[in-house]
Structure 1
Amino acid sequence: MKNLSANSLQIIAAVLLILLFGYTAVSKILEYDKFVFQLKLVQMPAVALLAPLLGILIPAIELVIVWMLCKDNLRIKGLYASFLLLLVFEIYITTMLLTGEKLPCTCGGIISQMGWKTHLVFNAVFMITSILPTIYKPKSRIFSGSHE
């Protein structure tokens, strides 16, 4: 079996993240009013105050990341951006868990059916998916004089 190259790992991660962010961005756009309403319910004054702006900004950022992941020359930056956005979401979810908020997830689509703890794990898996290709360095092969 051939070793998984760094480029192959980047492409696999990019495809998974494109599916995730593409799906959630479109869901948030299609359900904009619901998304903004749910953001206004959050017990974080800044989030509630900025809900209409966040309702546009969050899916826009997700779509920019999708675009970056599609471009060979921007893919690594897109993976880092994915990690950072997922980190922000993890902080938000952790805050929701620590405050005991029983609000629905604002992610959109079927993903919003997950509980907060499940969502924490789900995002952690995608954080690993986004950062692993940026740190994975395949071992270089050193050939001796004979080519067997």
Structure 2
Amino acid sequence: MDLNGSLQSLYLQPIPHWMAEILLIQLPLAEYITAMLLIIPVSRRWGYRLSLGLLTVFSLYIIFIKVKAFERVPCSCGGLIASLNWTQHLIVNLLLLALNVAGLVFHLKREE
């Protein structure tokens, strides 16, 4: 909701500033599209796949953080997630990733 605050948080991430400006709009848009695809039964398969992609990218980002691939890594998370360390972030994300895969497999089996 706070575009300026979100942009400032993105500028602190280990990504080029031009990418931060793109992600400011594209990331929430991808999340909303994913949610809509998951809600609508005929597009649910694509929602699961897009969600799988987003969760995979974020999991890889966390793994890069864990192996210290970046010089600096500020966390701009909010709410409950802000209190987690990177290992806990990774565990939560991997659990969500497993839930996503299970949902996709279940959905695909129901389509057969």
Fold shared per TM-score above 0.5 = yes
Q: Which has the higher helix share?
A: 2
> What corresponds to 1:67 in structure 2?
36
Evaluate the alpha carbon distance shift between residue 134 and residue 65 of structure 1 in structure 2; reply closer, same or farther with a 3 A threshold: same
2:6 corresponds to which of 28, 35, 56: 35
Q: Which runs of 5+ in 2 are unaligned?
A: none
Equivalent AA in structure 1 for residue 57 of structure 2: V
Shift of 1:64: 0.2
Evaluate the alpha carbon distance shift between residue 61 and residue 111 of structure 1 in structure 2; reply closer, same or farther with a 3 A threshold: same
User: 1:1-148, aligned counterparts within 5 Å?
Assistant: 30-45=1-16, 48-99=17-68, 101-104=72-75, 106-136=76-106, 137=109
Aligned residues: 106
Equivalent AA in structure 1 for residue 13 of structure 2: V
Q: Which runs of 5+ in 1 are unaligned?
A: 1-29, 139-148
Shift of 1:102: 4.2
Secondary structure, aligned partner of 2:67: helix
| Segment of structure 1 superposing worse, 56-65 or 128-137 | 128-137
Q: TM-score under structure 1 normalisation?
A: 0.63
Structure (1 or 2) with the larger CA radius of gyration: 1
> What corresponds to 1:145 in structure 2?
none
Per-residue CA deviation, residues 36-77 of structure 1 (Å, 9 max, x unaligned), is 2122122333xx331111011100000000000010001121
Percent identity reads 25
Shift of 1:31: 2.7
RCO higher in structure (CA 8 A, sep ≥6): 1
Shift of 1:93: 1.4
Q: Provide the C-alpha distance between the structure 1 equivalents of 2:73 and 2:22, rounded to a whole number of angstroms.
A: 23
CA RMSD of superposed structures (Å)? 2.0
Q: Provide the C-alpha distance between the structure 2 equivalents of 1:128 and 1:56, rounded to a whole number of angstroms.
A: 27
